[in-house]
Copies of this chain bind each other. A is one copy, B any other.
Amino acid sequence: MSDSAPPEVILDHRCSNCPVRHHAICAVLDNQSSHALSDIMVHKQLVPGQPLWSDKDEAHLFAIIVSGTVKLFKMLADGRQQIVGLLFPSDCLGRAYSETQQTFAEAVTNVELCCFPRQQFEHVLTQHPELEHALLEKTLTDLDNAREWMIALGRKTASEKIASFLQQMSRRSELTRCPNHRPTPDLPTFVLPLARAEIADYLGMTMETVSRNLTKLRVDGVIRLIDGQTVEICDADRLASLAEPQ
């Protein structure tokens, strides 16, 4: 370790360049306190389809998503899958205060992670109540979102599920888009991070039904499918009324 480059400077630099520094839970830490995290941080890169862990693995990892999309999913013995969470930049990955995982986790796109050993992260949590509070707020929001999705899974029709999903993806993309990138002249456009089969696993239906309903929305002029992955919302009002009656 050279005396001309003390670790503090390097570590602080790593966080200050972080694109999610002010959106993730670590935002509540001042530069001083953030060293507690940056000291134990390790960066990791994932390629699409790369698993993070299996559902019965020990939970060693806690991470913050810097870029890309991660899916959390569960599986039945016969292979049926259900995606139970989609994680985007600034979201937390990993179950604090549990020795075991209860879901699978897998990169959907290329992913950059800011990783911490779980137990060391928990140690930082106990020493920084403001960080634990931020994690609580995030977890409460996750629970709200999970419950919001439960009414879609249990009570919405296939077409309502698709419309809700597109709304949700559109809203997400607004948040992650650079504010100066899209002033408002043109229609909301975004890239679906999930393949058709994954959308099906998220919505609790089959790939074929997903495809048929996307086609129907396209034919009806509600959306435009630019290249199969890219969606343009032509009629947001109609999409909203399809996502929820009335």
Smallest beta-carbon distance A15→chain B, Å = 24
Q: In the complex, which of the residues A74, A146, A154 has the most CB atoms of chain B within 10 Å of its own CB atom?
A: A154
Total number of A residues with any Cβ neighbor in B under 8 Å: 43
Instruction: Out of B143, B155, B245, name the residue touching A143 (CB < 8 Å).
Output: B143
B144 near A82 (CB under 8 angstroms)? no
Taking the complex as formed, is A58 at the interface, i.e. its CB lies under 8 A from any CB of chain B?
no
In the complex, chain B residues whose CB is within 8 Å of the CB of A155: 76, 80-82, 204
Any B CB within 8 A of the CB of A132: yes
Chain B: minimal CB distance from A149 (Å): 7
- Which residues of B lie under 8 Å from residue A16 when comparing CB positions? none
Q: Is A186 an interface residue (CB 8 A)?
A: no
| A82, B97: Cα distance in complex, Å | 30
> Which 6 A-B residue pairings sit nearest by Cβ, starting from the closest?
A154-B204, A77-B246, A82-B151, A84-B147, A153-B153, A146-B146
Determine how close the nearest CB of chain B comes to the CB of A90; give it in whole angstroms.
18
Determine whether the beta carbon of B103 is less than 8 Å from that of A153: no
Q: How many copies of this chain does the complex contain?
A: 2
What residues of chain B lie closer than 8 Å to A154, measured between beta carbons? 82, 153, 203-204
Asked if B244 and A144 make an inter-chain contact with CB atoms under 8 angstroms apart, the answer reads no
Flag if B146 contacts A244 (CB, 8 Å): no
Q: Which residues of B contact A174 (CB under 8 A)?
A: none
| A223 within 8 Å of B (CB atoms) | no
Partner of A139, one of B102, B143, B150: B143
Q: Closest residue to A72 on the B side, CB-wise? A: B147
A103: nearest chain-B partner, CB-CB:
B147
Kindly state the separation between the CA atoms of A136 and B142 in the bound complex, as whole angstroms: 12
Q: Which residues of B contact A85 (CB under 8 A)?
A: 147
Do residues A147 and B102 form an inter-chain contact, with CB atoms below 8 A?
Answer: yes
Interface contacts beyond A76-B244, A78-B246, A102-B147: sample of 16 additional A-B pairs, CB < 8 Å, sorted by A: A76-B151, A76-B156, A81-B155, A82-B150, A82-B151, A84-B147, A95-B140, A97-B136, A97-B137, A102-B144, A102-B148, A126-B133, A129-B132, A136-B136, A142-B143, A143-B146
B contact residues around A76 at 8 Å (CB): 151, 155-156, 244-245
Q: Which residue of chain B has its CB nearest to the CB of A153?
A: B153
